[in-house]
């Protein structure tokens, strides 16, 4: 029997990382040697543990998964299975000569296929992407279609956001959110008297929201149209948006043309 592949799991989302580890622990073809929640920690873990296989999340705060690979010495670079929820990342995974890519939430049967593909790649010492079967090619095609501009802002897929509150994961429906505010590597949700942080970027969030229902008024602010009470000109060329909640938000000059002015 071949030796299990020494494996490192890299994902900034604790729940996703723990779930993937549980699935991997049930497979005798791999041995989970460690985990990391960000690129600097992963870089140190690779140097210390010398994993053969890396399950690598693409979207992480600070440096993303692709940046981890760019400066790794050739002798340290493991075989890579990217874990992603985005079509553009899946395409880049092919370009980065990944052994495979998985779409979140990871399906156990696809994970098993990816492990098998990694085992074959290690046996052949073939760091380039293997020939993907029709199911995987179809999955990539579906992801690319789903990212088409006319579909990306339809908002049909995104109905809620999940936030972590202590040891609980809370589901926050979009229709309850008063406005979104950028906060470093997070987006702050303003929901009545509560605020929650979601690990995402404003650009990514804007792409997921329905452009018919949400409007970006500032580099740091997105507002649901049904929360707007009035637009107030505070001085020539400068505007404020007053929400029905009483909140007053600045409208950046570069985003003013997006407002549905009569």
DSSP secondary structure string, 35-70?
Answer: EESSHHHHHHHHHHH--SEEEEES--SSS-HHHHHH
Closest CA to 230 of 215, 248, 212: 248
The stretch 229-258 carries a mean pLDDT of: 88
Same domain, 10 and 93: yes
Tokens 């949700």 -> residue: 189
Lowest-confidence pick of 58-67, 78-87, 132-141, 180-189 = 132-141
Last residue of a domain, one of 147, 168, 186: 147
The stretch 151-167 carries a mean pLDDT of: 63
Last residue of a domain, one of 123, 147, 171: 147
Domain count of the chain? 2
Same domain, 11 and 124: yes
- In a domain, residue 153? The reply is no
Q: Is residue 98 classed exposed, middle or buried when 0-12, 13-18 and 19+ CB atoms within 10 A define those classes?
A: buried
25 contacts: CB under 8 Å, gap ≥ 6: 32
The stretch 55-84 carries a mean pLDDT of: 85
Last residue of a domain, one of 82, 116, 147: 147
Q: Which two tokens stand for residue 228?
A: 């707007």
Do residues 33 and 8 make contact, with C-beta atoms less than 8 angstroms apart?
yes
The stretch 236-258 carries a mean pLDDT of: 88
Range of the domain at 212: 160-258
Same domain, 140 and 198: no
pLDDT digits (tens, 9 = 90+) for 165-201: 766 777 888 999 999 999 987 899 999 888 998 888 8
Same domain, 128 and 98: yes
Most confident of 19-33, 100-114, 184-198: 19-33
CATH of the domain at 184: 2.40.50.1020
* Rounded CA separation 9/110 (Å): 16
The stretch 38-46 carries a mean pLDDT of: 94
> Can you give the pLDDT at residue 222?
95
pLDDT digits (tens, 9 = 90+) for 196-218: 988 888 888 888 888 888 999 99
133 contacts: CB under 8 Å, gap ≥ 6: none
CATH of the domain at 42: 3.40.50.2300
Residues 87, 90, 92, 94, CA torsion sign: negative
Same domain, 169 and 247: yes
Closest CA to 205 of 190, 192, 191, 186: 186
Same domain, 115 and 28: yes
């Amino acid at each position: 029997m071949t030796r299990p592949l020494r494996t490192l799991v890299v994902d900034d989302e604790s729940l996703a990382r723990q779930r993937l580890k549980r699935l991997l622990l049930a497979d005798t073809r791999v041995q989970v040697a460690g985990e990391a929640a960000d690129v600097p920690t992963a870089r140190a873990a690779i140097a210390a543990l010398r994993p053969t296989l890396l399950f690598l999340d693409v979207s992480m705060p600070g440096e993303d998964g692709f940046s981890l690979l760019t400066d790794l010495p050739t002798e340290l670079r493991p075989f890579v299975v990217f874990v992603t929820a985005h079509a553009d990342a899946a395409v880049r995974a092919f370009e980065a000569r990944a052994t495979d890519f998985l779409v979140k939430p990871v399906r156990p049967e696809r994970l098993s296929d990816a492990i098998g593909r990694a085992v074959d790649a290690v046996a052949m010492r073939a760091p380039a992407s293997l020939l993907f079967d029709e199911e995987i090619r179809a999955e990539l095609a579906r992801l690319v279609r789903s990212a088409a501009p006319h579909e990306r802002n339809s908002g049909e897929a995104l109905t809620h956001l999940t936030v972590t509150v202590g040891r609980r994961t809370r589901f926050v429906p979009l229709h309850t959110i008063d406005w979104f505010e950028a906060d470093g590597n997070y987006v702050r949700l303003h929901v009545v008297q509560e605020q929650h942080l979601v690990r995402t970027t404003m650009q990514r969030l804007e792409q997921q929201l329905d452009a018919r229902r949400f409007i970006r008024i500032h580099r740091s602010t997105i507002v649901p149209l049904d929360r707007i009470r009035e637009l107030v000109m505070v001085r020539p060329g400068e505007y404020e948006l007053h929400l029905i909640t009483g909140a007053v938000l600045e409208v950046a000059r570069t985003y003013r043309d997006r407002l549905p002015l009569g």
